[in-house]
Each structure stands twice: as C-alpha cells, then as structure tokens.
Amino acid sequence: MQIIEAAVAEFASKGYFASDVAAIAKKAGVAKGTIYNYFSSKEDLFMGVVRTGLGLLEERMRAIRSSRLSPVGKIERALKEYLSFVERNWTLYQVITKEAIHLFARVSEEYCTKVKSHVGVIETLINDGINSKAFRKVDARTSALVLLGMADAVTWEAVLSNRKPNVLKQHKAILEIYLRGIVKQ
Amino acid sequence: MQIIEAAVAEFASKGYFASDVAAIAKKAGVAKGTIYNYFSSKEDLFMGVVRTGLGLLEERMRAIRSSRLSPVGKIERALKEYLSFVERNWTLYQVITKEAIHLFARVSEEYCTKVKSHVGVIETLINDGINSKAFRKVDARTSALVLLGMADAVTWEAVLSNRKPNVLKQHKAILEIYLRGIVKQ
Amino acid sequence: MQIIEAAVAEFASKGYFASDVAAIAKKAGVAKGTIYNYFSSKEDLFMGVVRTGLGLLEERMRAIRSSRLSPVGKIERALKEYLSFVERNWTLYQVITKEAIHLFARVSEEYCTKVKSHVGVIETLINDGINSKAFRKVDARTSALVLLGMADAVTWEAVLSNRKPNVLKQHKAILEIYLRGIVKQ
Amino acid sequence: MQIIEAAVAEFASKGYFASDVAAIAKKAGVAKGTIYNYFSSKEDLFMGVVRTGLGLLEERMRAIRSSRLSPVGKIERALKEYLSFVERNWTLYQVITKEAIHLFARVSEEYCTKVKSHVGVIETLINDGINSKAFRKVDARTSALVLLGMADAVTWEAVLSNRKPNVLKQHKAILEIYLRGIVKQ
DNA sequence: TATGAATGAGCTTTCATTCAT
DNA sequence: TATGAATGAAAGCTCATTCAT
C-alpha cells in the first residue's frame, strides 16, 4: 500500500516524533483522513512500518534456514542478506531498531515479540551450527544479537560519512571477525 | 551542573522528542527560563548531554590507550569499560547513539565530529595491536565500529527482556567472539 | 423509518454535537450515504427528530382538547400525558427542548414555529378553562410555559438522582401546585 | 478574570460543543495557550463557567434565606432574584442548566453536587415556610425544582419571541400561580 | 437507490521559547 | 541572573459530507 511506503520514507528520514502525518499523507497522495481509515493512530502506522520491515527481514532469514547451505554458508548468507537489507533500507532499519524503544510501553508487546522472533531465527541458525559441530559452543542468543549489532555498525559508518553505507566494503571484514569468532578452531 | 544531570535523566528515560523542557527544569530545581541562559535551545541542551556522555566514554578510552596493558589487554579493558558504561547508562547510551541521528542536519557537524573522535580512539587501539603484530590486519575502522555494535547488542537484550542488561553474562561471550576475530591465529 | 428511530436514540443519549452520523447509520442498519438520501444534513436529521418528538406531544395535546373532559380534567390529563411522555423519553425531551436553541439561527424558523404551535395548544386548553370560568384570569401564555417548565423539573430530578424520573411520585405534587395556582378560588 | 467572561459569552451564545477555544481566547484578548495555563481543558473551562454561574445564584439564595423576610416574602424575593438573574444572564443560564447533562459522565460529580446544593437552598426556603405553617405540606424537593422549571419557562419565552425575556411581565403571573400553589388556604 | 472509501476543514491541545519583572 | 506567565505555531485526530460504483 502506498501509505506504508510513504510512512517508511517519512519515518526513516525524520524519525517517529519529527514525522508529520500530514506529510505522509501528501507523500502517499491521499488525504490525512484516509490514513486514519487504515491505521488507528500515528503509533499504529508506525507499528505498520515496523511490522513490514521486520517481516521482510524475517522472511529472508527463514528462507536461509530452510536452504541447503552449510552452517557457515548460512551465516555468510544471513550476514549478506542482512547487510544488503540494511544497505537498501538503512534509515528504515534505524527507525525499526532504534526508535521503537521509546514507544515501548505503549505499543505493548507486539514490537518486542516481533524482534524476539526475528532474533530467534538467527539464534536457530547458530544453534544449528553448534549442533553440527561446525561452531564452537558459543552463547547462541548473545551471538545472534552480536550479528545485529554488527549490522548496526554499518549504519554508523553511514552516519559518520553522511552517505549510504557501502556494504561490500565492510562485508568481508565483518564476516571474517564474526566467523573466526564462532567457527571451531 | 544540575541542569545537565536533569537533562540526562529526562532524555534517557523518554528520548529527545518526548522530553519536556519544563520537566527538566523542574527536575533541576530551576525555572524554565534559566535553562535558556545556559543553552540556546532544547537541541543545544541535548547536545550538552551527548557531549557529556561521549566525553565520559572517550575519557575512559584515552586512559586505556595510555595504559601499559598489552593490545589484547587493552581491547579487553575497552570492551569491559564499554559494557560497564552501557550497563550503568544504557538508556542514555540509546539516546546518544540512536536518536541523535535524526537531529543530524540541524546540529551541524558537532555530533558527527564527536562520534568520529570517539570511534577514532578505539580505532587507534586496534591499529596499535595491528602494528605490534598482536592483531591480524583487519580493517581497523570497521572493527572499531563492530565493537560499538556489540555494545549495542547488549542494549537489545535489555529491551527484549525488559530489564537492565546483565553485562557480566555477556561480556565473556562477546569478548571471545571479538578477540578470536581479530587476534592473530 | 428506522433512520429516525436510530437518530432519536443517538441524539437522546449523546446530544446533538456528540452524536455521530456514522453511529446513527450503523444503528439504523444502513450505510452513511443512505442517510443523505433522506436528510440533507445532520442538522436536517436532527430537525426530523425534533419534528417527530414535538409531533407526538402535540398530537396528544390536541386529542385532549377535543375530548369531553372538564377544563380541570383536561389540564390534569395534559400534565399526566406530558409527564408520561417525559418519563418515557426524558433524554429525547432534554435534547428537543434544550439543545435545539443553539441551532436556532441555522434551522431558521421551523423549530420555533413548531414549539410555538405546541405551546399554543396548551395555551388553548387554559384559555378554554378561563372562558368557562373554571380558571382565574391568568396569563395563558405564561401559564402554558409554566407547565412546560414543570415537566422540566422532572428531568432535573432525573439528572440529580442519575436515574429515570419517577413521574408518579411527582405528578400529584406538581398538579396540586399548578391547579391551585390557576383554578378559581 | 477575563477568560471566564469570554467563555461565558461564547458558551452562552453557541453552547459547549459549538464553542471554539480559539474564539474564547480571542474574545478574552489572550493567546490560546494562556487559557490552558488556567484551565486544563475545554471541559474544565466549561466547569469554571458553571461554577461561576451557579455560585452567583447560590449566593443570592443564601442571602435571602438569612434575611428577615417572611416565608412568603422569601419565596417572592427568591423568584424575583431568580428571574432577574435569568433576565440578565439567560443564555448563560441555558448553558448551565441545559447542556451540562451531556457532559455528565465526564465531569463526574461536581456539576451534580453543585446543582443539588443549589436546589437544596431553595428547598430549605420552602421547608422553612412549611415549618412556620405559612405553606402547605408540599413536597419541598419537587416544589423547589418546580421553581427552577418556572424560571426555565421564561427562557422559552425568550426563544420563542427571539428576544431577551421580559421578566417583569411574567413575574406576577408566575408568582401568583406558585404562591397560590403552595401557600396555606 | 444504496454504498462506504475518501476527503479536508476544523478542532483541541502541547510545548519550546520569549521577555517584562 | 533568575523567573514563569504568556505566546502561537504546529500537530494529531475527528467526522459531516461527497461521489464513483
């Protein structure tokens, strides 16, 4: 729906609070009121964006898990997909992963559940690797979170250099650290 | 100054936009107008908070650099200091590292410069390690950012479990991945 | 028509401004647009309700006038009918008699004419009583209005005790005051 | 305070819902925000108006009670004061007595308590008359409400004739009905 | 004739900022 | 320097009304 697309763009570039529902409506080519026919509030619209973003990411991660790649291959692929997603949607990614924290109480459990589920998929990839003796016995939960944190590092680069992150440049470096960190030997 | 302290508390718990200058003034025990004698705007006050927070972190990192620890010991120490800072100020950390991005254009270069300098110190620690042959020839900049990303992972855990991050639990796991990732052999 | 019935219920329970055309449509089991096929606006719909309400009352008053009761009997009956109507429709009565005043300018003369006609019927009952020497030479217009005012008192009781007015309890007291007030000797 | 005065004028002429806080501010010669420094909401402002209006009325009624007039004289005086108040503030009176019903749930008990207290004073005047054998043993509560209802009748006249009520014209008629109604013999 | 998605004017309320004291 | 009442732009949200189907 074009409303979500416009909301993604607006939230991504300005953040939740600085975003203007009227601007989103204009961007989407609809009237303000129309947005409220589909979302009950600005917060609900934001959650729609979060849902969309996390949904896209989760879908990719699940596809990787059910692929025939080796554990290492899966992590490689996951990181690649992850970075590639962040590259294409880095501001959306910022919004999804950073700002939701301040809305937490109000959006109740949904955001938390969604992120947990998302982290869970990555955790599974790591556990699979541990079970097949490919990875050391690392703390899967923390290791999964660390992967997210690394993707985050990429967005920092973007902020510091004030331009779209160049993922390819960083992919190898991150992967090398991460894989050496968890792979056996 | 008590204004900064009050601002730290307010911004950390509510985020920039949801924070109320009046509430900060009350918390600080001064009148609203007084704040404007010291800071030209809410944004300026926020930058004061960012300055303070990053300043604290940077100071610690510089102390580490000038210590007599080994390169590995320095990284260990840096990570420890980092996690410990995040543990004690994790919401402030979230605010400093996440929300500032949306104020970027307006607060001009200062925030960016400050973060760059901060990352720079960590980068230096890594380069020192590389030069002393302790670390592999990793991309120092990316590796430094990865360290920040990992600290971030800790705050995610806090969000997901809805309680203060338990750093000790994660310190070992993260350190192991990171050191194996960058140390030679 | 079920639209009027739904509108009566909605306006009576919420008042004109707080009432929602969408809610009326839902209650009536039709689409919002359908209402506008029968009424040109919310205001027009409200006037439909006023018309219905005042129409019901007026019909009863006219029936009384053409009955064979004595002047005193007619007043007794009128008051009884009046209170009984208010008892069954006291919130509607409130809306009709109180809120319409603020729409006055816009709904032109109709409301005013309607009320005047309504008051007129009661006035006639009183004039009949005066002419037949049953009543003193009171100011018929004012006396008619006073009857309305007394019915009003009943709704006040309902408001103050926050429950449906108990008309029987008040009927005798009011009637006694009123009749003593206007009957000869 | 000039805000209350402006609010009285606005609410009286348009009713609660059709009134515009901005218009009240303009009328009062202050900025919109200023109103919210004194009243927490439009509803609270409305209650301020109700408080003021009922307070004025109650004060007069209390003064009458503590006067040295005879019971009949007190009722005469009360009705006179009442009608005179309504004459000077009839639209305010409309607002106070008619519209509050639809805000009832939200403004909780205050309005109800205030009106009860007001009715109570009149009830006392009547009970005093009954005790001193000046009045018949009427139902004091209902009789007090009837007095209010009569004052109401006066506002109807104003609505129907679309001009300020002419109280003097009606005072005698109403008083005659009412006194004959309750006085002994 | 009936529908209900789309509309957008208009409303209440907030809050960073100013400035007379 | 400190104050806090006053400000007014700005924002979220509602809802009577329209009109293509």
Residue among A102, A115, A143 minimizing CB distance to B160: A115
Helix, strand, or coil (residue B135): strand
pLDDT at res. A107: 57
Higher-pLDDT residue of D103 and D83 is D83
Backbone angles phi, psi at D67, to 5 degrees: -80, 175
Give the number of other Cβ atoms within 10 Å of residue A81's Cβ: 16
Q: Which two tokens stand for residue B83?
A: 């996690």
pLDDT at res. A131: 93
Which single residue has its CA nearest the C1' atom of nucleotide F18? C33
Phi-psi region of A29 (alpha: psi -120 to 50; beta: other; left: phi over 0): left
pLDDT at res. B19: 93
Residues 38-77 on chain D lying near strand F, CB distance under 7 A:
38
Neighbours of chain C (3+ CB pairs under 8 A): D
Residues in a beta bridge with B183 = B135
Is A154 within 8 Å of A165 (Cβ atoms)?
yes
Residue partners of C67: CB distance under 8 A and separation at least 6:
C74, C77
User: How many angstroms separate the CA of residue D73 from the nearest CA in chain C?
Assistant: 17
> What's the CA–C1' distance between C14 and E16, in Å?
38
Residue partners of B175: CB distance under 8 A and separation at least 6:
B76, B79
pLDDT at res. C183: 81
Dihedral, C109, C111, C114, C115 alpha carbons, nearest 10: -110
The closest of B146, B139, B156 to A178, measured between CA atoms, is: B146
Is B87 within 8 Å of B45 (Cβ atoms)?
no
Q: Which two tokens stand for residue D59?
A: 């004060």
pLDDT at res. C87: 80
pLDDT at res. B93: 80
pLDDT exceeds 80 at position D168? no
Helix, strand, or coil (residue C138): coil
**In whole angstroms, what separates CA C11 from the centre of its chain?**
15
Distance, in Å, from the CA atom of D114 to the CA atom of D120, rounded to the nearest integer, reads 10
Higher-pLDDT residue of D100 and A178 is A178
Q: Rounded to whole angstroms, what are the CA distances from D91 to B37, C98, D15, D43, D87?
A: 49, 11, 9, 18, 9
Domain residue ranges of chain D, discontinuous segments joined by +: 50-180
Distance, in Å, from the CA atom of B15 to the CA atom of A129, rounded to the nearest integer, reads 38
Verify if strand F has an atom below 7 Å from the CB of D36: yes
Which segment of A24-38, B86-100, C47-61, D99-113 scores lowest on mean pLDDT? D99-113
Distance, in Å, from the CA atom of B119 to the CA atom of B78, rounded to the nearest integer, reads 12
| Segment D142-151 mean pLDDT | 84
> What's the CA–C1' distance between D149 and F19, in Å?
48
Q: What is the pLDDT of residues D14-39, one digit of tens each?
A: 888 889 999 999 999 999 999 999 99
User: How many angstroms separate the CA of residue D53 from the nearest CA in chain C?
Assistant: 17
Q: Is residue B24 classed exposed, middle or buried when 0-12, 13-18 and 19+ CB atoms within 10 A define those classes?
A: buried
pLDDT exceeds 60 at position C107? no
Residue with tokens 């008590």: B2
pLDDT exceeds 90 at position D183? no
CATH topology for B50-180? Answer: Tetracycline Repressor; domain 2 (1.10.357)
Q: What is the pLDDT of residues B71-128, one digit of tens each?
A: 889 888 888 888 888 888 877 787 777 777 776 565 557 777 777 888 888 899 899 9
Sign of torsion over alpha carbons B160, B162, B167, B169: negative
Phi-psi region of C41 (alpha: psi -120 to 50; beta: other; left: phi over 0): beta
Higher-pLDDT residue of C79 and C109 is C79
Distance, in Å, from the CA atom of A123 to the CA atom of A141, rounded to the nearest integer, reads 6
User: Which of A13, A101, A119, A154 should we substitute to test contact with B (largest number of B Cβ atoms within 10 Å)?
Assistant: A101
Residue among A102, A142, A159 minimizing CB distance to B101: A159
Chains C and A touch (3+ CB pairs under 8 A): no
pLDDT band at D105 (very low <50, low <70, confident <90, very high): low
> What's the CA–C1' distance between A88 and F15, in Å?
39
Please provide the average confidence, as pLDDT, over all residues in chain C.
Answer: 84
Neighbours of chain D (3+ CB pairs under 8 A): C
| Segment D143-165 mean pLDDT | 78
| Segment C118-128 mean pLDDT | 88
Sign of torsion over alpha carbons B176, B177, B179, B180: positive
Which single residue has its CA nearest the C1' atom of nucleotide E2? C34
Q: Report chain D residues whose CB lies below 8 A from the CB of C176.
A: 138, 181
Interface touch A153/B145, C-beta < 8 Å: yes
Q: Which residues touch strand E (CB under 7 A)?
A: A 30-34, 36-38; B 18-22, 32-33, 36, 41-43; C 30-34, 36-38; D 19-22, 32-33, 36, 40-43
Interface touch B177/A181, C-beta < 8 Å: yes
pLDDT at res. B75: 86
Residue with tokens 């006040």: C156
User: How many angstroms separate the CA of residue D121 from the nearest CA in chain C?
Assistant: 15
pLDDT at res. D43: 92
The predicted model scores a pTM of 0.85
pLDDT exceeds 90 at position C101? no
Residue with tokens 């009918």: C81
Write out residues in chain A with pLDDT < 70, as ranges. 101-108, 162
b/e sequence C169-180, b meaning 16+ C-beta within 10 Å: ebbebbbbbbbb
Residues 11-70 on chain A lying near strand F, CB distance under 7 A:
19-22, 32-33, 36, 40-43
Helix %, strand %, coil % for chain C, to 5?
A: 80, 0, 20
User: How many angstroms separate the CA of residue D17 from the nearest CA in chain C?
Assistant: 6
| Segment C139-144 mean pLDDT | 88
> What's the CA–C1' distance between A140 and F10, in Å?
47
Higher-pLDDT residue of D184 and D131 is D131
Is D178 within 8 Å of C177 (Cβ atoms)?
yes
User: Which nucleotide has the shortest C1'-to-CA distance from D35?
Assistant: F6
Highest mean pLDDT among A145-149, B151-155, C57-61, D42-46: D42-46
Residue among D145, D150, D180 minimizing CB distance to C180: D180
pLDDT at res. D26: 94
Q: Which nucleotides of E are covered by protein (CB under 7 A)?
A: 1-20
Nearest chain D residue (CA) to C93: D98
pLDDT at res. A38: 95
Q: Report chain D residues whose CB lies below 8 A from the CB of C146.
A: 149-150, 153, 174, 177
pLDDT at res. D108: 58
